[in-house]
Amino acid sequence: MTAPALAGTGVAAAATVHANLSAPALVQHALSRNEGRLSADGAFIALTGQHTGRSVQDKFVVDDPEVTAEVWWGKVNQKMDPAKFAGLAGKVRGWLAARPVLFTQDLYAGADPAHRIRVRLVTTNAWHAMFARNMFIRPPADELEGFTPDFTILHAPEYEADPAADGCRTSTCIALSFAARTILIAGTSYAGEIKKSIFTVMNWLLPARGVLPMHCSANVGKAGDTALFFGLSGTGKTTLSSDPERALIGDDEHGWSDTGVFNFEGGCYAKVIKLSKEAEPQIWDASHRFGAVLENVVADERGALDLDDNRHTENTRSCYPIEFIPNTVAGGVAGLPRNVVMLTADAFGVLPPIAKLSPAQAMYHFLSGYTARVAGTEKGLGKEPQATFSTCFGAPFLPRHPEVYGQMLAERIARDGADCWLVNTGWTGGAYGTGSRMSIKHTRALLRAALDGSLAQVEFVQDPFFGLMIPKSVPGIPAEVLNPRDAWADKAAYDRTARELVARFEQNFETFAGAVGEDVKAVAIKAAA
């Protein structure tokens, strides 16, 4: 007999099923089951073992006949045979059914009722259920009656797949079938897999509905001016959207429809390594209270957090309901964007702190999705910065070809008249190891000038390498900060480093040369000149 909470999941039975428990109840279960501990402030701390980030090489999309022609196959979306998926799904369901206790949560993805989906999570751990409850949108009690999921997540972190039999690479497997509307997560306790699997689903469904799904944060000013912030991990996407002067729509995943912008989620998932109360007070406060879930964060014997300690990973995380941020948009829906900001942490130190982009440049940088990694942030990195390009600032979550999303962005920028900006939160005055990190005070000041419209009125000069339009002067910002070449003591070294980065952009963009318009090609040609 199948428990009502497991209806539609294919999981036949379990001794006990805890459905849609509240945060306090889930914490109580998590503590009694030794799944983690509480911080001194009441946040729940969990360790995820060997997997402290997403297992990108173990992610698969099922090669269902209905979708195969439209999926962007390759390293991002590895093929899994439908028969292999069916066999593995059967094993995972059987394994879950044999557990003495299961936890389920029924949740929404998508704040706009016209474009949301219903998600049911089945998991073995109370803290993972709490993570999902924090991250997604919690339906009111009357909407849980008769809840039927559109997609089901079968979360079996302790189950080990058999690569030879199951068609996967290792004992860890994240497999998504659009036809079966089922996600399998096995062999990893890293909770971000839950969140990002549904983001991948939204990235599949929404373009067909005329909605652009985006890996971005979003906020809105007092005048109703919505702003989007695209950026990879470590570029400041969460930090810069958590602005006390603007209301937060969401920190990571949004849709851009014909009527406005809406959050996919009901919570935030902030990277907290070296987080300070002075620089990021909202995230700090949200992470130091009951109801937050902390992944791989270090605390002493009294539960006091040490956010500078990276002994488990640099990728320490805090997950909390969005209402933990004091100034948020009720309902997670706002108007059409007036500003689109693309964030990069340029460790080569050659990009300006802010530049105004033409629509063609915006598409070029959107498809490029550039940032740079430095030693200490990821295993295996050497002393020199490494350029990273993740198309649409979210390649790991794109099931369709990137050009689909790029063209949708270009059309919406043109249709809705949004201004576009490139913001460098990385290094200035030299590359990583020589220069210094961009001042967050300067970044915030420049962003506020861009968002309130005053920056668009200043005089701009064009940089000779990327063709970017850089403000010549901004009140309160040193002139040498605005033009990155001026901040370098060795101008010849700056020119050489800038040319090298341009070459990296050029090489990366060759992938898209045949799929973009002449205006975007002209941007690429100018940058390479």
Active site residues: 54, 196, 215, 233, 237-238, 252, 317
Cα separation, 516 vs 161, in Å, equals: 41
Tell me the torsion sign for CA atoms 254, 411, 387, 204. positive
Residue among 244, 292, 178, 256 at smallest CA distance from 416 = 256
- Which amino acid, one-letter code, is at 367? L
Cα separation, 458 vs 360, in Å, equals: 21
User: 45-50: long-range contacts (C-beta < 8 A, 24 or more apart)?
Assistant: 45/294, 45/297, 45/299, 46/127, 46/189, 46/191, 46/293, 46/294, 46/295, 46/296, 47/295, 47/296, 47/312, 48/188, 48/189, 48/190, 48/191, 48/295, 48/296, 49/189
Question: Is the Cβ–Cβ distance between 294 and 40 less than 8 Å?
Answer: no
Tell me the torsion sign for CA atoms 513, 385, 489, 341. positive
Residue among 411, 354, 331, 364 at smallest CA distance from 513 = 364
- Using the CB atoms, write b or e for 408-421: b if 16+ within 10 Å: bbbebbeebebbbb
Give 517's Cβ-side CA count (13 Å radius).
Answer: 10
Question: Is the Cβ–Cβ distance between 231 and 393 less than 8 Å?
Answer: yes
Cα separation, 185 vs 153, in Å, equals: 7
Question: Is the Cβ–Cβ distance between 447 and 245 less than 8 Å?
Answer: no
CA distances from 215 to 203, 212, 328, 506, 512 (A): 9, 10, 19, 23, 20
Three-state SS for 51?
Answer: coil
- Which amino acid, one-letter code, is at 364? Y
